[in-house]
Amino acid sequence: MSGLRAILVGAVESSEVALAPFTRNPDWTLAAVVTLNGERSGRHSDFVDLEPAAARMGAPVIRVDNVNQDASLAAIDAIGADYIFVVGWSQICGPRFLDLAPGRVIGYHPAALPRMRGRAAIPWTILNQEAITAGSLFWIDGGTDTGDLLDQHYFHVSPGETAASLYAKHMEALVAMLERSLVLLARGEAPRRRQDEACATLCARRTPADGRIDWSVPADDVLRLVRAVGRPYPGASTNIGSTPLTIWAAAPAPDAHRHVASPGQVVAVDADSFVVMCGARSAITVNEWSGSERRPPLHAVLGRDA
């Protein structure tokens, strides 16, 4: 089988990354790219406008508010694709959407399914201290990331992994999986491996408020949060009085045990960083922050309202 036509649905960096494998496989044509209307882009902190990349590939762009609306379904149906790939899309694919290509809608999830189904898998991977993870391509069914597996690409999660570095590893895995799977799909040899429900876990939705720092916990926990919710996500948040502060990068502070101070209290300040006390007589050195042009003053307590 050759000359397959695909539609890609997405709105983030992984969606853009997923376009390239189609240009390298002569058996496939990217027939259309479905993405969000510009005013709806705020639902993704890592939104990417796919239109420039789609234009370079000669693929028309269909902009939608919701893929399950009548107008969206009609526009997608008119393309007549053999397969629909959903990569980097937060909306649930409803029954009528799935019926546009019955049994031929393929999703991507940045976790080792059936582990970590659901939302915010990359931050949760770091927060849950997963040692190994995977990118997963799967056949979308009516559940939440429950469909049969098409491919998986496993890799280690380093002890100092950040959201950005883990995201980058997932992008490499996504490209590798798509390149393999496009070949197998064109040959009619693509697998469908059932997920083991006994191993399934489900990740809860996260909001920017979940990035609020609790300075009473040990420094290792604060640092883990900073790494998990950093770019491309909203960051770990606190405040200096009434001024919001986002912490993007930090490290363990040496000699924390020498400081007698309250959790959240700034115990050292220099030209490029400041040290904040945490729980269990531990502390972090903040190396990158935003929201305030100035460093917090010595002895200020972060997270305490003015």
Model confidence pLDDT, tens digit, residues 205-254: 999 999 999 999 999 999 999 999 999 999 999 999 989 999 999 999 99
**144 and 187 belong to one structural domain:** yes
| Burial profile 94-121: b = 16 or more Cβ within 10 angstroms, e = fewer | eeebbebbeebbbbbbbbbbbbbbebbb
**20 and 114 belong to one structural domain:** yes
User: Which amino acid appears at position 257 of this protein?
Assistant: H
**57 and 175 belong to one structural domain:** yes
| pLDDT at residue 37, rounded to an integer | 86
Per-residue pLDDT tens over the stretch 178-209: 999 999 999 999 999 999 999 999 999 999 99
**58 and 191 belong to one structural domain:** yes
By DSSP bridging, strand 28-36 and strand 4-9 are: parallel
**74 and 164 belong to one structural domain:** yes
More confident residue, 245 or 40: 245
User: Which of the listed residues 154, 179, 203 is the one where a domain comes to its end?
Assistant: 203
User: Which of the listed residues 203, 236, 254 is the one where a domain comes to its end?
Assistant: 203
How far apart are the C-alpha atoms of 185 and 84, rounded to whole Å?
A: 12
**19 and 112 belong to one structural domain:** yes
Per-residue pLDDT tens over the stretch 255-301: 899 999 999 999 999 989 999 999 999 999 999 999 977 789 999 99
How far apart are the C-alpha atoms of 11 and 49, rounded to whole Å?
A: 7
Check whether 149 has a pLDDT greater than 90.
yes
What angle, rounded to 10 degrees, do the helices at 163-187 and 13-23 form? Answer: 30
Query: Does residue 301 belong to any structural domain of this protein?
Result: no
In terms of residue numbers, what domain contains 219?
208-290
**245 and 152 belong to one structural domain:** no
Query: Does residue 299 belong to any structural domain of this protein?
Result: no
| pLDDT at residue 90, rounded to an integer | 87
**84 and 181 belong to one structural domain:** yes
User: Which of the listed residues 188, 203, 218 is the one where a domain comes to its end?
Assistant: 203
Per-residue pLDDT tens over the stretch 61-105: 999 999 999 999 999 999 999 999 999 998 999 999 999 999 999
More confident residue, 34 or 242: 34
Query: Does residue 303 belong to any structural domain of this protein?
Result: no
| Beta pairing partners, 212 | 237
**173 and 217 belong to one structural domain:** no
Can you give the CATH number for the domain in which 262 is found?
3.10.25.10
Place of tokens 């305490």: 304
Tally of domains within the chain: 2
Check whether 1 has a pLDDT greater than 50.
no
Mean pLDDT value across residues 150-171: 97
